[in-house]
Amino acid sequence: MADLMEKIVSLCKRRGFVYPNSEIYGGIQGFYDFGPLGVELKNNIKREWWEEMVTKRDDVYGIDGAIVTHPKVWEASGHVEGFTDPLVDCKKCKKRFRADHLVEDLKIEDTGTADEEFIKRLDKNLKGVKCPECGGELGKAKRFNLMVDVGLGVIEGQKRKTYLRGEACQNIYLNYQNVLDSFSPKIPFGIAQIGKAFRNEITPRNFLYRQREFEQWDLQWFVDPKEMEKWYEYWKKERMKWYLSLANQKKKVRLRKHGKDELAHYAKVAYDIEYQTPFGWKEWEGIHWRGDWDLSRHGKYSGKDFTYTDPDAKREFLPWIVETSGGVDRTFLFLLLDAYHEEKDRVVLKLLPKIAPYKVAVFPLLANKPKLVKKAKEIFEDLKTCFLVAWDDRGNIGKRYYAQDEIGTPWCVTVDFQTLEDNTVTIRDRDTTKQKRVKVDKLVDWFQNKLSQ
């Protein structure tokens, strides 16, 4: 389904999931706004992650760090020097492109460091490649830093330059010692965070997949270096299990080991969890072997000592880190691609009920029968105290069902004439379209039970 992406983008706009940012001014590349249904879906997805990584565990602490940090953070992290992508300009139309995206079957992978060898090899590969827009001649590939800078202060010329965070996880390293001091956890333990990150991506594309402002979820798991291997394996399995639990099409989720040439210099090994999108297998989350890179760099740049003393073994070491770093927006997009389903006369989003924006929709069979409307409103108000519920009394029942299917509402409740006699309603299931009669006073339990399955 090559046009699946177009269908998703259109559905997202039409039904209030995602709008292009600043559209009335012609839009701005790489930025999107989440609409009323999008924010619900996104919050539900984030809640699932938080429950899995923080709430259910007693060895992970959640934080919520600021988007702006001291500029030194980004020197220590290596981003100022090395967080770059290769860029190439067309000499004729002046358009800019990610140089590595123009080379088919590029055998070398960019690790984003300031390694000039990569640029040289890339230039060789680019010989004979023309501008994809106008066919013009391309210039030489250059490095382009992805950090988005900001000026703090009010006096022009004296503003202090820092950056919007290029990756959210840096706040976790900054607060490692604070969490340790406040809660005295024993290693291994983790710190988790969901937060915005900003990158001057050269070619934002594929809708939410590559944006300039996006959200990440990170776990940094601090371990005794001797146990690094064991915990790396543990998180690989845990994370894969979790993503599989969210997807309907399990075959489209895979774990891919990075080749040696793809590894960051500090990494012994790296895996990506990937999803098979209409534009290829794409990274969903990275499971990274960060070793002592982060705490030693921040130790060096800040002059602080992050040595940990194991209270049992009485041994001192600098903790090593296993990182699991994934994208909230990519999860949003991949789960929509995964859920989208066309049948004869309807489009259904087969989202898991727990992440669907609305859990239930309530309809009176006929909008012009006050008794039906009154009863349906009572049920609607009652259910609303527990779930996000939609109300619809327009058109005929069939159309209302289809409208809810298209936004993934798992169940529709219809109040009909029998309801007035025996206090039962029909519940119609999104996936099977089967209907069932349930007592009104059992409805909350019925939905709660379904949602916990």
Task: Give residues in contact with ligand ATP (CB under 6 A).
Answer: 167, 199, 201, 210-211, 214, 216, 283-286, 325-327, 329-330
What count of other Cβ atoms lies within 10 Å of the Cβ of residue 160? 10
Residue 211 Cβ vs ligand ATP, minimum distance, rounded to whole Å: 4
What distance, in Å, lies between the first and last C-alpha atoms of the chain?
A: 31
Question: In the complex with ligand ATP, which residue's Cβ is closer, 17 or 380?
Answer: 17
Burial zone of 48 (CB within 10 Å; 0-12 exposed, 13-18 middle, 19+ buried): middle
Question: In the complex with ligand ATP, which residue's Cβ is closer, 260 or 394?
Answer: 260
Query: Beta-strand (E) ranges in 183-333?
Result: 189-198, 213-223, 253-257, 270-277, 280-291, 308-310, 315-317, 320-327
Please give the order of strands across the beta sheet that includes 142-145.
Answer: 96-98, 84-89, 142-145
Residue 238 Cβ vs ligand ATP, minimum distance, rounded to whole Å: 16
Residue 389 Cβ vs ligand ATP, minimum distance, rounded to whole Å: 31
- Residue 69 and residue 162 in contact, taking contact as beta carbons nearer than 8 Å: yes
Residue 347 Cβ vs ligand ATP, minimum distance, rounded to whole Å: 25
CA-CA distance, 424 to 443, in Å (whole number)? 9
- Residue 150 and residue 159 in contact, taking contact as beta carbons nearer than 8 Å: no
Question: In the complex with ligand ATP, which residue's Cβ is closer, 283 or 406?
Answer: 283
Residue 333 Cβ vs ligand ATP, minimum distance, rounded to whole Å: 9
Q: Establish whether the linkage from the previous residue to 364 is cis, with ω within 30° of 0.
A: no
Residue 219 Cβ vs ligand ATP, minimum distance, rounded to whole Å: 12
CA-CA distance, 192 to 245, in Å (whole number)? 20
Q: For residue 319, which of 213, 132, 188 has the smallest C-alpha distance?
A: 188
Question: In the complex with ligand ATP, which residue's Cβ is closer, 88 or 443?
Answer: 88
Question: In the complex with ligand ATP, which residue's Cβ is closer, 40 or 85?
Answer: 85
Handedness of CA 396, 437, 350, 335 (dihedral sign): positive
Residue 448 Cβ vs ligand ATP, minimum distance, rounded to whole Å: 32
Question: In the complex with ligand ATP, which residue's Cβ is closer, 40 or 167?
Answer: 167
Question: In the complex with ligand ATP, which residue's Cβ is closer, 329 or 392?
Answer: 329
Token couple for 405: 């299917």
- Residue 336 and residue 330 in contact, taking contact as beta carbons nearer than 8 Å: no
Phi-psi region of 300 (alpha: psi -120 to 50; beta: other; left: phi over 0): alpha
Residue 286 Cβ vs ligand ATP, minimum distance, rounded to whole Å: 4
Question: In the complex with ligand ATP, which residue's Cβ is closer, 29 or 309?
Answer: 29
| Nearby residues of 5 by Cβ (< 8 Å), 6 or more positions away | 206, 207, 277, 278, 279, 337
Question: In the complex with ligand ATP, which residue's Cβ is closer, 168 or 427?
Answer: 168
| Nearby residues of 422 by Cβ (< 8 Å), 6 or more positions away | none
Residue 196 Cβ vs ligand ATP, minimum distance, rounded to whole Å: 11
CA-CA distance, 261 to 79, in Å (whole number)? 20
- Residue 186 and residue 197 in contact, taking contact as beta carbons nearer than 8 Å: no
Question: In the complex with ligand ATP, which residue's Cβ is closer, 167 or 338?
Answer: 167
Handedness of CA 81, 82, 84, 90 (dihedral sign): positive
Residue 55 Cβ vs ligand ATP, minimum distance, rounded to whole Å: 22
- The residue sitting closest to ligand ATP, measured at its beta carbon, is 327
